[in-house]
Amino acid sequence: MLQIEIDEGSGFCFGVTTAIKKAEEELEKGRQLYCLGDIVHNSMEVERLAKRGLITINHDQLRELHNATVLLRAHGEPPETYELARKNNIEIIDATCPVVLALQRRIKNQYEKNGNSVACDLEKVDLETELKDRKKATASQIVIFGKLGHAEVLGLVGQTHSHAIVIEKFEDVQQLDFNRDIYLYSQTTKSLNEFHRIIEYIQEHISENAKFRSFDTICRQVANRMPNISLFAAKHDLVLFVAGRKSSNGKVLFHECLSVNSNSHQVESADEIDMEWFRNVHTVGICGATSTPKWLMEECRDEILRQTTEA
């Protein structure tokens, strides 16, 4: 008989759980609620909440919205979003993950510390000091290891008025100017190993006259899933990885599953399961990303058992 195990460590991270809980609480009040972007990178969960009344909008639609209530998802938003909400009399339900929020503040503080928080009233500011601060600012680089265009990264870059440099992979680090100061941060869901490789490369190449500081801002709840999911994938004949294909975290974790178990398959829903995969298979491990709801993994398990029973 086919044995199926659902990974206890898989499923929503704290940030996503909180965002969905806040959305459900508001919807239960009977209020019209908008969400800026998909609340989670999982189409099935987005569809479930849409049926309950959650309306997903993009930034262009936000600009046209007035006198409404909008939920900000766990990924976070740049300062411009909050300013727009204030102008349009929009009530914000802020579900930004605390880890992301702390990272935004660190980047903003560093940006201002570098001399970028320059006053506009020249009557109150010594011009020579201001020019010196501007020169200091251009001499340093705030670098974010993350995915270009990702909602979290857009929010982080926004803390620097789009002056931060984004590197997506290890090879991109060569584009940095090693004669200038470098302050390195990471998107919270990136690979810890690759982040350490980037740190080592910069340490080896940074000029003696330049300063380099790195800040490990990777969420441990996410990072710790890498070794755990490897152990889980290795002990099963087949791995069914359930995640939306837009999920950055899902891509990283699925790659990890494949690296230890070549008989790994990714699906977004139970409809994508191919029973041909299960020939000569005795044990199946079902796992997922930080954007994967438990109910969806359970639904996939039930579908496999149903088709196995009917066969």
Residues acting as catalytic residues: 152
Listed residue (2, 10, 17) closest to 231, CA to CA: 10
List 56's β-bridge partners, or say none. Answer: 35
Cα gap 10→228, rounded to integer Å: 9
Query: Which two three-digit tokens encode residue 287?
Result: 């796992």
Question: What sign results for the dihedral spanned by CA atoms 184, 185, 187, 193?
Answer: positive
Amino acid at 185: Y
Torsion (CA) 168, 172, 177, 178 in degrees, nearest 10: 100
